[in-house]
Amino acid sequence: MANYDVIIIGSGPGGYVAAIRCAQLGLKTACVEGRETLGGTCLNVGCIPSKAMLHATHMLHEAEHNFAKMGLKGKSPSVDWKQMLTYKEETIEANTKGIEFLFKKNKIDWIKGWGSIPEAGKVKVGDDVHEAKNIIIASGSEVSPVPGADVTLDEKIIISSTGALELPKIPKTMIVIGAGVIGLELGSVYSRLGTKVQVIEFLDKITPGMDGEVQKTFQRILKKQGLSFTMGAAVQSVTAAKNKASVTYKLRKDDSDHTAEADVVLVATGRRPYTDGLGLDALGVDISERGQIKTDAQWRTNVPGIYAIGDCIDGPMLAHKAEDEGMACAEVIAGKHGHVNYGVIPGVIYTHPEVATVGMTEEQLKEAGTAYKAGKFSFMGNGRAKANFAADGFVKILADKTTDRILGAHIIGPMAGDLIHEICVAMEFGASAEDVALTCHAHPTYSEAVREAALACGDGAIHM
Ligand code: NAI
């Protein structure tokens, strides 16, 4: 039991970053975490392990499809599934241990166990009650149930992303419910491992909310890679038999009923805030209808001294959004001016090719009645992409028609998740497309495609 300036509940990217920033700002800080390891969903069962699996299977795909073309002959690698899972586990361990090291370095106490808030200023973990002038709730999110369907996860045959990262063997067939980020990333992993993957999606387009042109190109590329799509289909039920699961769904266009079977069903229909056991009801913390903790623009809840950040509040459920809120919230507590620009938060899907997006889509600009111009450049015109068999996709920059100020960018192509940040920085500086177009870009790089898209907003791209 000790007295702290700040106690943070949850050590995911929101919580651990908030803790480090609090400590850097001279606040006596503790972080409560009930898992065996720090890092939350992202490091333990989310972003990091899935990226390890995406990397390993992308390497396999390159070996199977592109090595021979480059004159690299010989037996292509076969999959040692056990070793691939070990590689994933080692990746997790390296990252979670890294956070432990950073906690020690910054003199942050890790209070092990699940925390609750009996009253403002107090955090209870086990039988101990710790005092804190400020409490930050960073308790994250959990898998949400399939809307309108009765589905029970067993994490063996009917699985969430967590189960998908530790299947005992590679399934022959997999049904993915939901063509969102999780479904397409993990669907890609298994498709590359030889699993026949069928994606069942409620809407008529994949990755809801993304730029329409990106959605179309992305789906075409994924189909070419072997994923099949059943669109406009509302899943009604999922049942597991001995070694199989069956999914019933209704096609929305004609209300017809269908059944599909697979070895494994991955449920990827979204996540919801996780605030169980914190005692928020008794405290009187305001919660929205969607289960999100309500905060003001500086992450204060309605209860003085209690803040909330990350997946358990409003906004996109993204690790980097939570990190930014963590830093900014720490600064507010320390009496500084913490700020997050919600207009410039990139979103990335780590398939191959990657998909990355920031700012407004064409659809949103049309709806808002904003006059805009679109500069587009295909990776077919990019020398580096052609050399690397990575010329599928494009960069699209959207700029204000009159002022040329960049309003958004949408990239599908190699390293899109890294390329997008040039546009993020440009947008933070209120740059015009011409500012990017006039900036010298090294040749030959994928980044040249970004410059060419900016040039296409003006007098025209060079290599198109
Ligand atoms: P999502 O919200 O991205 O996609 C869910 C999909 O399921 C939607 O397309 C929806 O229309 C569909 N759906 C819902 N009910 C359905 C039904 N009954 N039948 C068929 N389809 C149905 O959710 P997802 O992929 O589960 O991801 C959860 C959260 O985690 C998201 O907020 C995502 O941003 C985040 N995440 C981000 C990653 C990244 O940034 N790379 C990676 C993984 C997750």
pLDDT tens by residue, 364-418: 999 999 999 999 999 999 999 999 999 999 999 999 999 999 999 999 999 999 9
Cis peptide before 353 (omega within 30 of 0): yes
Question: Pairing state of beta strands 406-413 and 394-400?
Answer: antiparallel
> What's the chain's length in residues?
464
- Of all protein residues, the one whose alpha carbon is nearest to atom 27 of ligand 1 is 270
pLDDT of residue 241: 87
User: Distance, CA 326 to ligand 1 centroid (Å)?
Assistant: 24
CATH architecture of 3-142+272-333: 3-Layer(bba) Sandwich (3.50)
Instruction: Name the residue with tokens 């803790």.
Output: 19
Q: Domain spanning 158-269 has what CATH number?
A: 3.50.50.60
Tokens 């009159």 sit on residue: 402
- 347-456 matches 158-269 in CATH topology: no
Which residue's entry shows tokens 């730029």? 211
Q: How far is the CA of 181 from the centre of ligand 1 (A)?
A: 6
Q: Which ligand 1 atom is the nearest neighbour of the CA of 46? A: 43
Question: What is residue 325's predicted lDDT score, i.e. its pLDDT?
Answer: 98
Q: How confident is the model at residue 330 (pLDDT cuts 50, 70, 90)?
A: very high
Q: Yes or no: say if 109 and 281 are a contact pair by the CB < 8 Å rule.
A: no
347-456 CATH choice from 3.30.360.10, 3.30.720.200, 3.30.390.30, 3.40.640.10: 3.30.390.30
CB of 90 within 8 A of CB of 56? no
Residue 76 has pLDDT above 70, yes or no: yes
What is the per-residue pLDDT for 242? 85
Confidence of residue 2 (pLDDT cuts 50, 70, 90): confident
316 pLDDT band, cuts 50/70/90, is: very high
Contact 43, 65 (CB under 8 A): no
- For the segment 1-28, the average pLDDT, to the nearest whole number, is 96
Give the residue from 374, 378, 410 showing the smallest Cα distance to 391.
Answer: 378
Which of the following is catalytic: 65, 258, 339, 443? 443
pTM: 0.97
- Is 443 an active-site residue? yes
Two tokens, residue 326: 């963590």
Q: Ligand 1: residues whose CB is within 6 Å?
A: 146-149, 177-183, 185, 200-203, 208, 234-235, 268-271, 316-318, 348-350
Pocket test for ligand 1, best of 43, 151, 202, 272 (most atoms within 8 A of CB): 202
Which of 365, 463, 349 has the alpha carbon at shortest distance from 411?
Answer: 349
CB 135 within 8 A of CB 306: yes
Measured CA to CA, the distance from residue 294 to residue 300 in angstroms comes to 8
Phi, psi of 250 (to 5 degrees): -115, 130
Nearest CA to ligand 1 atom 28: 270
**Contact (CB, 8 A) for 130 and 109:** no
Longest dimension (CA), the chain: 69
Going from the Cα of 207 to the center of ligand 1, the distance in angstroms, rounded, reads 8
Domain boundaries, the chain: 3-142+272-333, 158-269, 347-456
Which of 142, 181, 215 for a ligand 1 pocket mutation test, highest count of atoms within 8 Å of Cβ? 181
DSSP E strand stretches across 152-211: 158-159, 173-177, 196-200
pLDDT in tens, 197-249: 999 999 999 999 999 999 999 999 999 999 999 999 999 999 998 889 999 99
Ligand 1 centroid to Cα of residue 187, in Å, is: 12
